[in-house]
């Protein structure tokens, strides 16, 4: 079946990078790019169309909200203008109205689509999207893959091994309370022993990633990294790949948690989440996960009070 993917916020760094990555991989038969910055969007569209010439048969076009109709997958990267923040949660109030507008459009034009939200803060906004749209929670995915990618990168450097040999997972909040599952680290398919000192160093580097990026004050986000992860999710949804991918999902009792969207390992398919993967945690990791969930409960309760 032909696959139609729409990207909302496609003129921004994250959206444009994702459009480019998906186009070069030929992941969609039709790719609709939506953004209010019309001229910038046209510029990206012209450039990407030229770049993929002779590579794939893909229909690339600019769209409006009504062009969401018939989308199999929608990726939301739209958000409030970039500014200096110390935490992704600082963007919640200004991005909530954007998510509400997106929810109305999704409900009207493509209620059956799988929706990947990359707008921060991902966890509460994914829960808000469910509240506003009524779309089944299994079809609403908050993007958190970057946490795992950074974890593997940092662990590979600390262990002085190739990142291609390493596997691992990060769950919990897409933020400072993210849980790095050192117990999930596999080197060439085998468990890895890491000292507590090295774990502490990796955790600190991981926690400071946002601060290090913001300090550059360029307005650039992790566009290329997100483009790779989002494309990986699209491929898993479209082809029902048998791989475990972490993403934020609204839970209803899974992992002993209810009423919040939080990063967990899942397997994806054309209807979104098709399986919650039950990972085994160490007691320390289980406690960290509960603390992360408690923090998100607090944030979500405050948000729900004003929805």
Q: Would you state the structure tokens that stand for residue 268, as one six-digit string?
A: 């994806």
pLDDT of residue 212: 80
pLDDT for the residue 89: 85
Architecture of domain 4-143: 3-Layer(aba) Sandwich (3.40)
Task: Tell me the mean pLDDT per 10 residues along the chain, length 307.
Answer: 96 97 97 97 97 95 98 95 75 94 97 97 97 97 98 96 97 95 96 94 87 79 94 97 96 96 98 93 95 97 92
**302 CB neighbour count, 10 Å cutoff:** 11
Structurally, at CATH architecture level, domain 145-304 sits in: Alpha-Beta Complex (3.90)
For residue 86, the model assigns a pLDDT of 64
* Amino acid 76: pLDDT: 98
Residue 84 pLDDT: 63
Strands 140-143 and 59-62: unpaired
Domain positions in the chain are 4-143, 145-304
pLDDT of residue 88: 81
| Euclidean distance between the first and the last CA atom of the chain, given in angstroms as a whole number | 38
Determine the Cα–Cα distance for residues 15 and 231; give it in Å rounded to an integer.
Answer: 11
pLDDT at 213: 79
Q: Where are the beta strands (DSSP E) in 70-165?
A: 73-76, 114-117, 140-143
């Amino acid at each position: 079946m032909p696959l139609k993917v729409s990207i909302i916020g496609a003129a921004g760094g994250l959206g444009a990078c994702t459009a480019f990555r998906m186009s070069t991989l030929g992941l969609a038969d039709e790719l609709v790019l939506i953004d209010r910055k019309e001229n910038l969007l046209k510029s990206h569209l012209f450039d990407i169309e030229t770049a993929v010439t002779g590579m794939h048969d893909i229909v690339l076009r600019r769209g409006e909200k009504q062009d969401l109709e018939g989308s199999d997958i929608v990726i939301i990267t739209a958000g409030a203008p970039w500014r200096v923040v110390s935490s992704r949660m600082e963007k919640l109030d200004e991005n909530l109205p954007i998510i509400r507008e997106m929810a109305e459009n999704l409900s009207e034009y493509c209620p059956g689509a799988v929706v990947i939200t990359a707008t921060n803060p991902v966890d509460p906004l994914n829960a808000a999207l469910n509240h506003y749209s009524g779309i089944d929670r299994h079809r609403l995915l908050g993007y958190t893959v970057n946490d795992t990618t950074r974890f593997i990168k940092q662990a590979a450097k600390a262990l002085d091994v190739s990142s291609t040999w390493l596997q691992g997972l990060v769950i919990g909040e897409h933020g400072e309370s993210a849980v790095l599952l050192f117990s999930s680290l596999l080197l060439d398919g085998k468990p890895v022993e890491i000292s507590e000192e090295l774990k502490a160093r990796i955790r600190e580097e991981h926690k400071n990633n946002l601060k290090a990026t913001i300090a550059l004050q360029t307005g650039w986000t992790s566009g290329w990294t997100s483009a790779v992860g989002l494309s990986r999710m699209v491929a898993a949804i479209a082809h029902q790949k048998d791989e475990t991918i972490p993403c934020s999902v609204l839970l209803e009792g899974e992992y002993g948690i209810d009423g919040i969207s939080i990063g967990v390992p899942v397997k994806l398919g054309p209807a979104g989440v098709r399986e919650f993967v039950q990972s085994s945690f160490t007691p320390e990791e289980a406690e960290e996960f509960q603390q992360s969930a408690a923090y998100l409960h607090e944030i979500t309760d405050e948000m729900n009070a004003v929805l």
